[in-house]
Amino acid sequence: MVDKKMLKALSEQVTKEFYSAYLYMSMASYLEDKVLPGIAKWMRVQAQEESCHALIIFNYICEQGCKAELGAIKAPPSDFKSVTEVFKHTVEHEKLVTASIHAIAELAIALKDHATKQFLEWFIKEQVEEENSSETMLRQVVRLEDEKALFLLDKEAGARLFALPLPLVGKI
């Protein structure tokens, strides 16, 4: 069992990860509408990863013998000014998620909750990758803003494949 405060923080993080998935689905929808199926696929994979993050935390709550308290998932924005704005928003959102994960890690340290601290290490590493991949996409989009270049990036981004995160292998 984890401390009540920790259960609340972990439960809220499950909701935040599902919101991330929802946000990226909304961005995928915008990109599909702009006839950029490759970049939309990149965003769909991003959304799948976020649902997995939610499940990993949900599984951990269950493994701790606790009951997750799932909150409401708010509606994501449905329109964006440009592809650049989509990726700016993605980078900002990932930074917020990193801060949220770090805050839970700090709570784990304060509570001397070594199990949760260790559990969160995968997420801390994952966020470094998430910030890096979204920043790379943003830099590429900014550099290739004209239509022809975006078309080329669309082909490359469409090659992204979904891989089940290691903590979920054999668990869903």
The footprint of Fe ion (CB under 5 A) covers 17, 50, 53, 130
> What's the closest the beta carbon of residue 154 comes to Fe ion, in angstroms?
21
The first and second tokens of residue 66, run together, are 């606790």
* Nearer Cβ to Fe ion (50/113): 50
* The one-letter amino acid at 150: L
Q: Rank residues 41 and 53 by Cβ distance to Fe ion and give the closer one.
A: 53
- Of the pair 17, 113, the CB lying nearest Fe ion is at 17
The C-alpha angle 115, 118, 123, rounded to 5 degrees, equals 130
Hunting for tokens 């961005």 — which residue is that?
A: 27
Nearest to residue 104, comparing CAs of 77, 129, 127, 75? 127
Contacts of 73 (CB under 8 A, 6+ apart): 15, 18, 19, 22
Residue whose Cβ sits closest to Fe ion: 53
Nearest-angstrom CA–CA distance, 67 and 85: 38
* Nearest distance, CB of residue 157 and Fe ion, angstroms: 16
Q: Which is nearer to Fe ion, 100 or 144 (CB)?
A: 100
CB of 127 to Fe ion, least distance (A): 7
Measured from the CB of residue 110, what is the shortest distance to Fe ion in angstroms? 23
User: In one letter, which amino acid is 81?
Assistant: K
Q: Which is nearer to Fe ion, 47 or 108 (CB)?
A: 47
CA neighbours within 13 Å on the CB side: how many for 155?
5
Is residue 40 a contact partner of residue 32, using CB atoms and an 8 Å limit? yes
Min dist. Cβ of residue 151 to Fe ion (A): 26
